Structure formats: structure tokens, C-alpha cells
Amino acid sequence: MQAERRSDSPSLSARNLTGIDDLSDSDIALILSRAQFYADALRDGTVPRVLEGKIILSLFFEDSTRTRTSFDVAANRLGADVVHWNAETSSLKKGESFEDTVRTLSALGPDAIVMRHKEFGAPLTVAKIAACPVINGGDSWRAHPTQALLDALTLKRHFGEIEGRTVAIIGDIAHSRVASSNMELLPRLGVKLRVIAPEVLMPEKLPSDDIEKFTTLEDGLPGADAVITLRLQKERMESALIDSDAAYFKAFGMTHERLDLAGKDAVLLDPGPFLRGVQIDDALADDRSRFLYDRQVANGAPTRMAVLDLFMNKGASSPL
Ligand code: NCD
């Protein structure tokens, strides 16, 4: 049995998802409610195949485990075909420019492009060239909008409502696209946001003056409902900014004791990959009642199903 189809067909104002700033408040609400719809449909086995006959071009210029696979799962669940393009075996190796490669692939007429790239703003360049929606799976430290959306869905499903909740993000705020997109999204959902990092990993300017900065866990954690840890993005540091993984863990690594500093009911999230003994100790990493990582990964599918459906079916009468 298919999930019940809705007769009203709300539509997004955004054409692409290159960053959270593409989305209006009602776009965000629509994506999160559609994501919840797909989470329920996945549980009930009632997913409508709303992307049957569509082709998604998957352009990952940078490594990925979770994001790429989760977009693939989302696309397959909705009936779309995914074509993977591999930078390593492409004509980029023969000297073709990035723009010409994108123009060539775009001429094949995909219905959407999902991409990841190490260059700042690369999805914006692709969006200018492509005739179809471009969905960003992460670029440089700038943006990772679907990760922020799935984090919001995870918080929403855990707490019921996230407005008024306090969330603390710990770690490499300066180099993390997950931090960047969450710093844009969570305050727009009414979350009181804190960032906790050593000075060297704290950006000079945060996207909003309402985000509180802390340099120690002892100051930043008390009263937080949820904590998000981040990997040290060493590939984006010009020199070693942190003495050693052990020194980082001593000051910023999460343990049960430290999570209890936030509160006995506080929960931990991490976008992955999480490094045991650096971001999180083994005992907390294995305690999936406090560490919601599996739920984040699982929520990646319905979140990306919502994004693909809403961006690819825009203008068409709503299939739901
Ligand atoms: C992150 C990424 O690649 O931006 N992971 C993810 O997408 N879930 C975070 C990271 O690499 O640290």
C-alpha cells in the first residue's frame, strides 16, 4: 500500500540547495515535514515512487561514505536512477576544465545533480551552468545543508520540538561545513546555539551574533540539551593547529562524565566519521541511548528523499 497522497501541493521557493541560505523559512519547514513523512513511509513500507523515470547525476569530487550512499538510497527508494561519475577516471585527468566537464555532463540532461567538491562555492558554479536542480553534498568548509537538515530532523524526532532547546557544537568550528550549515539552520529553528572550541579552531566571525562562544567544556556544556561533536578537519588546516589527538581529547573529548555536565538527559550527535579517543571515548561511542549517531545516519535517507522529491518535482502537481 502506498502512503496517502496529499491533494495540496506546497512547493519550494528555492531552485537549488547549495546552502541553507537558499531556503526560505517555509522551505525549511516543508523539507522537515516531508522528511518526517518519508521517515514514517519507510517504517510502514509505503514509500511512493515519486521519482520513477528520473535520472540523478552523482558527482563526488571528494571522498564520502555516508552522504553519497544516503543520497543513493534515497534516490533508489523513490524510484530514480543514479548515474555515478568518477573524477579519478574522467577527462579532468586529461586537462578538461571543471566548467567544461560540468557543461558536458549537464548536456546529458540529468533531472538533478548531487555533488561534493573541495572548492569553496563549487556548487554555485555548477548551479549557474546546469539546467536542473543542484543539491550540495558538501563543499569545502562552506556548506553541507542536507547534514544540517538531517541533524535538525534527528533533534526534532528526539525532543518532539526543537524550538527553545540548547545545542552545543564542539570542535573544529573553523573548518567544518557541518558547523557552518548548522550555525545557519539551527538558530532559524529557534535553537539556542553555542559553539565550544579552542581559540585556534574558532572562526573570527560567526554567522549570527546570537551564537554563544566558549573555549572550555566546563563553561559551555552546562544546560545543553544536545551536543554535536566534530572531527578535526586536518585536511583543511594549513599547519597542525592542535598539538596532538591526545591533547585534544583531554580538553574536548566527550565522555559520559562530560555529557552529564550538560545534563543527565543530554544526548550526543556527530555527523561522522567520528574518531574514537579523539572526539568521543569508546564507552560513550557505544552507548547508542545517549549517542544518536545511528539515528542521524538513518534520518539521512528520509531527509534526502524529501530534498530530492521537493527539488525534482517542483512545478509538477504534487505526487503526494
Ligand atoms: C562530514 C563531511 O564530509 O562533511 N561528514 C558527513 O558528511 N557526514 C564531516 C567530516 O568529514 O568530518
137 C-beta closer than 6 A to ligand 1: no
Q: Is 66 in the pocket of ligand 1 (CB under 6 A)?
A: yes
Going by their DSSP bridges, the two strands 212-214 and 192-196 should be labelled as: parallel
Give yes or no for residue 92 having a pLDDT over 70: yes
pLDDT score for 72: 98
Q: Establish whether residue 10 lines the binding site of ligand 1, counting it when its CB lies within 6 angstroms of any ligand atom.
A: no
Ligand 1 centroid, distance to 272 Cα (angstroms): 6
pLDDT in tens, 113-155: 999 999 999 999 999 999 999 999 999 999 999 999 999 999 9
Q: How far is the CA of 178 from the centre of ligand 1 (A)?
A: 7
In this predicted structure, the answer to whether residue 233 has a pLDDT above a threshold of 50 is yes
Task: Label residue 279 by pLDDT band (50, 70, 90).
Answer: very high
Is residue 56 over pLDDT 80?
yes
Ligand 1 pocket test target in 62, 73, 115, 144 with most atoms within 8 Å of CB: 144
Tell whether the model's pLDDT for residue 5 goes beyond 50: no
pTM for the full predicted model: 0.95
* Confidence at residue 316, expressed as pLDDT on a 0 to 100 scale: 64
In this predicted structure, what is the pLDDT of residue 88?
78
Query: Among 61, 62, 63, 67, which is best to mutate for testing ligand 1, by the most ligand atoms less than 8 A from CB?
Result: 67
Distance 254 CA to ligand 1 centre (A): 18
Among 47-51, 117-121, 240-244, which is the least confidently predicted range?
240-244
Average pLDDT, the chain: 94
271 CA → ligand 1 middle, Å: 6
Q: Which atom of ligand 1 lies closest to the CA of 64?
A: 3
